[in-house]
Chain A
């Protein structure tokens, strides 16, 4: 049966004689201001948006179906491609959920390293998000300041795992590589130099007349609506919802660190921008504390757990190590999982990123459901944009930080 692509499908925009002066505009799927591939059908009254109808699915590639045929360590490469702005956070979320299912307690060093990379990913995500909001509203210099510092974070990630963009750094029960002294040195340099950039960025844009006029009072989201529409992360916190999983359900080693959760109450695009700016300061504080107190010891759980590959020394000199290595590398072996299901979430840069994992005994997930924050937040968009002008679309889209690869999966 030939299929009709969604783009030619007739939308049931109610036709009414009295509304003949309204006209319909296609925004996307290929538009520089959407940044990624998504489409919005707009009903306009002059320049004012009467109704916005998102049409998504252009990047749908069946990630959840793939998760049912890739094993728990292979699937981490797919999570990289979900939110490709902060892939490290996705890696940490995925293996956090798998370890919850298996009931593995990580080593202290692994927890600290995961916190460091997750917080660096948060900084990198917020830099891009706020930079893009600036870019779309006309602040090009601000975007360059932000993008320049992302390069340093990529450099740190390359030092620790060899990949700049698609990191795949975590493994079940540990990490791909241990951190080297060079990594520690680079993170320290970053912590020393980044406050100046952040300071410059705040001075460039926080009180910029054009930027404030374009974002203040645009895309208002009240606290009750934010909860009712399942908003999480910086978007909910900009509306006054004081919910941060790092504080409320401390996972990894977040309970050890001293940091604040920035919140605002106005709930507009400007508040979301300010919350993200403030979160970068707090993330920097966490990274500083974690890198100075990095515990020594192994990064992988021991060979007793039978999930992480043992080191070469153990493989060549102990029988347990040899057996464990053989079991894990043979394609028909692997480790066993309980016939159970569990949900675990982290506070990703965008909001609550969780995985609902169903185990069926083998080392391939029976179901790997991702709770994508971009998907939930894009559902807010028609509500937020109603009544605003066409030029406000880019400000609202940018402040929601929609990543189409995570939106469509």
Chain B
């Protein structure tokens, strides 16, 4: 939930923002260009000081979907207990957004996981590596075009011996 005056402040500062509501939750869709400005405004002016989560959804086979990826920033305020979800839609080949690490230190591992699982690039991230999967892994497995069974990667893992390691 979010107070109406907070929402109007956000839409006044970012005119392209499109808010919507579902089951008492406010989601605001912002274009990719104004994401950094919107996040900075939310943190500094509107007191959304807690970054709850960053996640992504691949809308490859989704009904009525026009964009491929939807990036979601879940924010909360520890002072007023408001919550808001900021959504950004991304399409290939422009799969990059500015990193939120300068704003919240907690974004570091969340963004690394989104890169690992979906292949979204976060520009300016201090440690842009895979986190859960091995470094040589090439695919991004939470994309919808990746099969649940995998593509046989685990059968090709090298056997480490005491002498060779």
Contact = CB atoms under 8 A, between A and B. Distances in A.
Interface of A: 1-9, 56-57, 60, 62, 64-66, 68-69, 100-101, 103, 225, 227-232, 241-243, 248-249, 339-343, 345, 352, 354, 356, 358, 360-361, 366-367, 369, 371, 375-376, 378-379, 383, 408-409
Considering the complex of A and B, which 9 residue pairs feature the smallest CB-CB distances, nearest first? Answer: A230-B106, A57-B132, A379-B109, A4-B136, A371-B53, A3-B136, A229-B106, A60-B132, A369-B55
Nearest to B151: A1
Contacts of B62: 339, 360, 366
Interface string B96-134: 000000001111111001000100000000000001111
Interface string B77-91: 010010001000000
Given A343-B85, A352-B52, A376-B106, A2 B157 contact: yes
A1 B63 contact: no
B128 to A, nearest CB: 12
Interface stretch (B2-10, B28-36, B137-145): B137-145
A197 to B, nearest CB: 34
B49 A227 contact: yes
B57 A228 contact: no
Tell me whether chain B's interface is mostly helix, strand or loop, or mixed. loop
A5 B131 contact: no
A396 B7 CA distance: 40
23 contacts: A1-B136, A5-B157, A6-B134, A60-B133, A62-B148, A69-B148, A100-B23, A228-B104, A228-B106, A230-B51, A230-B52, A242-B78, A243-B50, A243-B78, A340-B22, A343-B25, A361-B63, A367-B58, A369-B53, A369-B55, A371-B55, A371-B74, A376-B110
A2 B158 contact: yes
B105 A228 contact: yes
A376 B157 contact: no
Contact of B74 (A7, A68, A229, A356): A356
Contacts of A376: 106, 109-110
Q: Number of contact residues on B: which range applies?
A: 35 or more
B55 A356 contact: yes
Contacts of B57: 341, 358, 366-367, 369
B41 interface: no
Contact of A343 (B74, B78, B104): B74
Most interface-central of A62, A232, A242, A408 (chain B CB within 10 A): A62
Contact of B138 (A1, A371, A383): A1
B132 A2 contact: no
A6 B135 contact: yes
A78 to B, nearest CB: 13
B66 interface: no
A209 to B, nearest CB: 35
A224 to B, nearest CB: 9
Contacts of A379: 106, 108-109
A9 B135 contact: yes
Contacts of B160: 5, 7-8
Most interface-central of A242, A249, A367, A383 (chain B CB within 10 A): A367
B134 A227 contact: no
A376 B49 CA distance: 16
A228 B52 CA distance: 10
Contact of B50 (A62, A230, A358): A230
Given A62-B141, A339-B64, A1 B156 contact: yes
Given A8-B165, A57-B134, A65-B146, 14 more contacts: A1-B138, A3-B156, A8-B160, A9-B134, A65-B148, A66-B148, A227-B50, A230-B107, A231-B106, A342-B23, A356-B53, A371-B74, A375-B113, A408-B132
B72 interface: yes
Contact of A56 (B132, B137, B157): B132
Contacts of A356: 53, 55, 72, 74
A408 B156 CA distance: 21
A340 to B, nearest CB: 5
A53 B156 CA distance: 27
